[in-house]
Amino acid sequence: MVKKHIVLGVTGSIAAYKAADLANNLTKKGHEVAAILTRNATEFISPLTFQTLTKRAAHTNAFEKITDFDVDHVGLAKWADILLIAPATANIIGKIAAGIADDMLTTVIAAAHNKPVVICPAMNTAMYENPIICENIKNLSKMGYLFIEPRESVLACGDLGKGALADIDVIIDFVERL
């Protein structure tokens, strides 16, 4: 197995806690993982969790103090073999589809246009089935973005439907096969 440099984007979903398990498992398998948490993700889980599990700084701010004179969003985009967004909210999918680069995660994605980007949606079923979200996913897929479909499950809101983050093992297998 080839060891990969993986930028793990974590967005503001209740499934953010599962991203810690994902980061931990990828790191234990020998991959290097650099986590980027959106501001909303930090409402669910701490950057310190990812720093501890990956032994690398977890990024949260596009305007962090530069200590090694490498512009972080460009440096991370160059360093990465794969960008993995898990969980991916409707918000981040919409931003990527619209070309919006207004935070650390979206600027890294914009700078890494020649790298594989794997998006793992996690949201309420009604959101996932919203025609706007479906169109964004369809358009991004046409541009080469890769998607791992969410599972059907009882969601955090109590609804039963498709929208739960894919199983961690499914995500890891997909990433390792790239």
CB atoms < 10 A from the CB of 136, how many?
A: 19
Q: How does DSSP classify residue 63?
A: T
Q: Which domains does the chain have, with CATH numbers?
A: 5-177 (3.40.50.1950)
Q: Tell me, what's the pLDDT at 69?
A: 39
134 belongs to the catalytic site: no
Q: Which of 71, 143, 157, 178 is an active site residue?
A: 157
Distance CA(161)–CA(57), nearest Å, equals 35
Tokens read off for 68: 């090694």
| Alpha-helix residue ranges (DSSP H) falling in 35-167 | 47-54, 72-79, 90-98, 104-111, 125-128, 131-142
Per-residue pLDDT of the chain (178 residues; tens, 9 = 90+): 689 999 999 999 999 999 999 999 999 999 999 999 999 999 999 999 999 999 998 988 765 554 543 445 577 888 999 999 999 999 999 999 999 999 999 999 999 989 999 999 999 988 999 999 999 999 999 999 999 999 887 666 667 678 889 999 999 999 999 9
Read off the pLDDT of residues 39-76 as tens digits, 9 standing for 90 and up: 999 999 999 999 999 999 898 876 555 454 344 557 78
Q: Which amino acid is at 58?
A: A
Q: Tell me, what's the pLDDT at 71?
A: 43
> How is the chain split among helix, strand and coil, in percent rounded to 5?
40, 20, 40
